[in-house]
Amino acid sequence: MNAARDAAAARVVVLGADRRLRAARADRLAAHYRVPRRAAADILAAPCPPPAGYVVDAAPRLLARFAGAGGPPPALAFADLMVHLRTVVGGVGDAYRAIRYYEARGVLVGFRPDVPDEELYVVIEAALRERRGGPPGARP
């Protein structure tokens, strides 16, 4: 596998209730993986999301909107990993049902908002290896 090419194809969704934290994290992830930052609604509403890498940031209520319209889209259809910056643990409603749906499928991982970027890189790269069938010790 070509590590630079595969890492550049990372499709990451950053979720969180705090817009500034979420946007800053999405900007840093996009810069790190050298992929564009895209609008969440464009990715989630597209019949076929772009295959190339991207980072989007979205409020959990956006997931609720899609969950309420016929159920959440298939987990791996638009993201290799969803990073949930948890400012509140738990919750009720469509947004948290959607979060639990993706978490149960192994696509969503929750972090404290102050987690170092390097920890996210490790988790994202592990998710990429798993999705693409690479050996456990290999870089994506």
Residue 16 carries which side chain, given as an amino acid letter? G
**Domain locations along the chain:** 3-132
pLDDT (tens digit per residue) in 4-53: 444 557 889 898 878 898 999 999 999 999 999 988 777 777 777 777 88
Judge contact between 12 and 80, C-beta under 8 A. yes
Region 58-84: mean pLDDT is 71
Residue 72: pLDDT band (50, 70, 90) is low
Taking the model in full, what pTM does it have?
0.78
Judge contact between 12 and 29, C-beta under 8 A. yes
User: Hey, which CATH number is domain 3-132, 3.30.70, 2.40.160, 1.10.3210, 3.40.50?
Assistant: 3.40.50
pLDDT (tens digit per residue) in 89-108: 666 677 777 788 888 888 88
Residue 1 burial (CB count, 10 A): 15
